[in-house]
Structure 1
Amino acid sequence: MSQKIAIVGGGYIGAELAKSLDDTAEVTLIEPRSHFVHAPAMIRAVVDPSLLDRALIPYDRLLTNGRVIASKAKAIDAKGVTLEDGTRVEADQIVVATGSSNAMPFKPQGADIAGLKADNQRIHQQLKAARRIGIVGAGAVGTELAGEISYAMPDKKVTLISSDEALFPTMPSKLGSSLAAKLRKAGVTLILGQRAENLESMTEPYAGSLQLADGSQHDFDLIFPVIGSRANSEVLETLAGVQKTTANRIKVDPWMRPSSLPNVFAAGDVADVGDAMTIVATSRQLPWAVNGGVKFGHCGGAKVGQFGASALERAALI
């Protein structure tokens, strides 16, 4: 008898996991948005809105056997998921992969895909009209955005500001120094080791002046605040014993369980497994989820990052 598996969140790990298990389990994907949002393409779409339709992929053709429910999960327990309208989705195994939020227009606010498209068009027009661009935050989004603007719009004066002394300081130094050299060659001004003291918005681009920690003032026609993502962990907070770490993420054990419930797992950006919130980090979790050596509900077998016999697929075949 196949297992019933509920997956909450249809981002990179949730959608791929649902598709991987579609033939071997009764899969229900719970996702309020109508479209999968390809986040890296959304950065490029700020300078080239023609990419938008290719960056937004409908969920309606994702699964052949399973189902996609367009709703938000309100609560989770050992037997399933309660949706915001009170409907129950019964499940043997539950995976929460609700992802993270970022500044517009890189991810939608809630489930509003139409609003995301409108934000993209509005901010693209603001970018076209701007001469001096400030980007606050030099993580994956900020660095990529600086590169995209400098490449597609070389007439713009782009300044990338970070409170860190180097780009990607937790990674090998060669990566940060190489990226810095490429950005400078493209005409991007880097201001490192300086915190912006007076951001007017943490989520929406705006025109204004930035005061840095050293007291210097910098005027910009458009400021992009991209100082980091925050996990969408609210539904996991309904579980007893859940602990938050930084950026709203949820602490998990070596088998990606956020609580004492053996059949509830957290994955992707929402789960703090020691990696940053990046697609690369998520890709390291997915093989474990599909091919890891642990049968759901047990403590033995492989941990995250180890690869052996099937985990989700074996659970699905029980």
Structure 2
Amino acid sequence: MLGIRLIRLVNTIHELARLNLQFGCTVEPTVAERPVVKHSEYLKAARVVQSAARSVIHSNSSSTQPEVITDSGERVPFDFLVITTGSTYTGPSTEAERIKFYEDEKESVLVIGGGPVGIEFVGEIVTDFPDKKVTLVHSGERVLEFLGNKASEKTHKWLKSEKVELILNDRIEVENLTGPDYVTKNGDAYQGRCTLRVHWKARRIWLKETDLAHLLDENDRLKVDTNMRLEGVPNVFAVGDITNTKEIKQGYLALNQAAVVVENIKKLFKAPKAPKLAGYKPLASPLGVVSLGRCEAVAQLPLVTLVGRFPGMI
């Protein structure tokens, strides 16, 4: 970017596309080989560092070069840093392993987490494989807790109508388990040959070991100002679920935040001393659309909450 060392830990658009491809491969095994794409094929002008970020060194001193240290030990200096950390994928890592995994796991699915991603994943499974046994375990009192009670109730009824076994107010810690049998905190056992863990906290743990740890709030989200910059850190931005913006966490809002960040980095490049930066306004009304399979969805709109094919067209 015109000589600016701009690091994107996870590019929002590419991360959303990657997650969608992984989910699609799991529920549509016949297309498992098609989505294997090299990063270099779609990031033509970027240098891709294929490693997890483990530390961020930031200093206001002009003598210290800010940098990210990766899991492999590489030190990557930056002028601007954009943190858009997505969910952690814990499945097979190599191309051959992924293809075999997506084609073999056809018997039962255990989904851990009843947020929007977990619900969308369940919807795709029951649509494409109506005979597959699906169990959803969620630690909260209702699914889709970021939406209102009506949206949760309608989604609950839809899941029951699709014969999904729904377990609420319970959790499964799967970090050290290999399956296919999993025991919940309440002592109940569930089986899943294919297990998808969908929760958001673990992906922010690495930040606690960095110079940015003091900017994490009580929910382990980064504190940002109206310009999407970390509070008191003028050259580090954050976008998406990692931020503490007071709104629901959905992809289309992350894209709106990303547009603000791109505009502000351009302004800082042109006038680094006193630019008039763009501001981001969080969504005031609780709006949200979560797909339920290929054709249906649940939609919470300003005046009404709907479920079925009509919101699926939104």
Does 37-46 or 267-276 show the bigger shift?
267-276
Partner secondary structure for residue 231 of structure 1: helix
Structure 2 residue corresponding to 1:281, chosen from 240, 244, 253? 253
Q: Aligned partners of 2:205 and 2:275: how far apart in 1? A: 24
Corresponding residue for residue 226 of structure 1: 197
Deviations 1:224-275 (A, max 9, x none): 3525023346368533673223564322222222253312222233333234
Q: Aligned partners of 1:203 and 1:40: how far apart in 2? A: 26
Shift of 1:5: 4.2
Please say if 1:242 is aligned against 2:221: no
Change (3 A) 1:302 1:236: farther
Please say if 1:269 is aligned against 2:241: yes
Shift of 1:71: 5.0
Unaligned runs of 5+ in 1: 16-34, 307-318
Identity of aligned residues (%): 22
Q: Aligned partners of 1:292 and 1:266: how far apart in 2? A: 12
Deviations 1:44-95 (A, max 9, x none): 211223434444443214355x43142555544465535545555453xx13
Q: Aligned partners of 1:291 and 1:242: how far apart in 2? A: 27
Structure 1 residue corresponding to 2:232, chosen from 260, 273, 277? 260
Structure 2 residue corresponding to 1:58, chosen from 38, 57, 72? 38
Corresponding letter in the other structure for 1:153: F
Unaligned runs of 5+ in 2: 283-314
Structure 2 residue corresponding to 1:180, chosen from 124, 148, 156? 156
Corresponding residue for residue 30 of structure 1: none
Shift of 1:39: 0.5
Shift of 1:176: 2.4
Corresponding letter in the other structure for 1:245: D
Corresponding residue for residue 170 of structure 2: 195
Q: Would the aligned equivalents of 1:233 and 1:250 in 2 still touch at CA under 8 Å?
A: no
Structure 2 residue corresponding to 1:70, chosen from 49, 61, 68? 49
Structure 1 residue corresponding to 2:262, chosen from 290, 297, 302? 290
Corresponding letter in the other structure for 2:123: G
Corresponding residue for residue 28 of structure 1: none
Corresponding residue for residue 180 of structure 2: 207
Change (3 A) 1:52 1:255: farther
Q: Aligned partners of 1:121 and 1:276: how far apart in 2? A: 36
Partner secondary structure for residue 250 of structure 1: coil
Partner secondary structure for residue 152 of structure 2: helix
Change (3 A) 1:96 1:56: farther
Q: Aligned partners of 1:157 and 1:90: how far apart in 2? A: 47
Corresponding residue for residue 125 of structure 2: 149
Q: Would the aligned equivalents of 1:76 and 1:235 in 2 still touch at CA under 8 Å?
A: no
**TM-score normalised to the size of structure 2?**
0.67
Alignment size in residue pairs: 268
Q: Aligned partners of 1:221 and 1:212: how far apart in 2? A: 17
Corresponding residue for residue 285 of structure 2: none
Change (3 A) 1:218 1:263: closer
Corresponding residue for residue 81 of structure 2: 95
Shift of 1:155: 1.7
Partner secondary structure for residue 190 of structure 1: strand
Q: Would the aligned equivalents of 1:231 and 1:247 in 2 still touch at CA under 8 Å?
A: no
Please say if 1:160 is aligned against 2:133: no
**TM-score normalised to the size of structure 1?**
0.67
Please say if 1:49 is aligned against 2:18: no
Q: Would the aligned equivalents of 1:37 and 1:56 in 2 still touch at CA under 8 Å?
A: no
Please say if 1:121 is aligned against 2:100: yes
Corresponding residue for residue 4 of structure 1: 4
Change (3 A) 1:172 1:281: same
Change (3 A) 1:49 1:305: farther
Change (3 A) 1:278 1:145: same
Q: How does 1:5-44 map to 2 (within 5 A)?
A: 5-13=5-13, 38-44=18-24
Corresponding residue for residue 308 of structure 2: none
Change (3 A) 1:290 1:157: same
Change (3 A) 1:175 1:119: same
Partner secondary structure for residue 215 of structure 2: coil
Corresponding letter in the other structure for 1:143: I
